[in-house]
Amino acid sequence: MKRGRILLPDRQAAWIGSHAALPVVQLRSDRQRVYFSSRDDRNRSHIGYVELSLDREGADRTFAPAAVLSPGVLGAFDDAGVTSSCLVEHSSLQYLFYTGWALGVSVPFYLQAGLAISDDGGQHFRRQSDAPLLDRSDVDPLLTASPWVLIDGGVWRMWYVSGTSWRAARSGPEHFYHIRYAESRDGITWLRRGRVAIDFRSPEEHAFGRPCVVKDGNRYRMWYSYRGDAYRIGYAESGDGVDWTRMDSVNVIGVSDDGWDSEMVTYPCVVRKDDAWWMLYNGNSYGRTGIGWATAE
């Protein structure tokens, strides 16, 4: 059930500009911290957060005074922007997995997954490396992006976006990418074999947004967004986290008849709190219209 919009970007802090995209929810004892990406006047995304209580209407909201991660140095893989993807807490550290953006010439942009780490509770993050976490390779020759990571039985497991092709279109090069799977022992060095987790279902599909994976007992649940003309939210299940069954009409929300999420719904982040599932998501224009909230029992 949709519960309404919880955030409209409106210059609440110096780093908040035109968007509030790709929410990442961190549950806390009495409040939630929501990391998200916002664009500056040069259209570059920065990552920051807001603290709020979703289930307490009218509760105060506290915005980070400064971005926790900003675009990299000139020429770096993320010098055109950084967008939030996933947060993992491990051994008193917080691992912020993100997407780095760089502008292209023959294609509009390049994407590569990055990692920043915090040792002060998420107030500040430092890049694990100035190089990408998942660089282009024989397995992923075009782009990597939008990693979602779980530590499962001592193994770091990642579901991420990988480019399959760029194709000429009337409006310019069109990107095609699906969701793949990788593993690691430390969260930094990743073994990629090109294993596809979620693939295109029809010729009309050409891209998938950031996956969100939750382990629920002996079942893995994945929410993601997929698109032809505009993004919609999809859902899949797996018994092992590797082989998935798409069930896109189950456990999802659709577009509204009018308003801020009437054209697209995208970038879901789902968490389990008490006896309910909470989903934060974006609506029209990839986060320009803000972040919404939905719940299910």
- Give the tens place of pLDDT for each residue, 163-218: 999 999 988 999 999 999 999 999 999 999 999 999 999 999 999 999 999 999 99
Instruction: Give the pLDDT score at 175.
Output: 96
Per the structure, how many domains does the chain have? 1
> Could you tell me the residue range of the domain that residue 102 belongs to?
2-296
Contact 136, 177 (CB under 8 A): no
pTM of the full structure: 0.97
Tell me what the mean pLDDT of segment 108-118 comes to. Answer: 98
Tell me what the mean pLDDT of segment 225-253 comes to. Answer: 97
Q: Could you tell me the CATH number of the domain that includes residue 159?
A: 2.115.10.20
- Give the tens place of pLDDT for each residue, 6-51: 999 999 999 999 999 999 999 987 899 999 999 999 999 999 999 9
- Give the tens place of pLDDT for each residue, 251-277: 999 999 999 999 999 999 999 988 899
Average pLDDT score over the chain: 96
Q: % helix / strand / coil in the chain, to the nearest 5? A: 0, 50, 45
Three-state SS for 27?
Answer: strand
Instruction: Give the pLDDT score at 275.
Output: 87
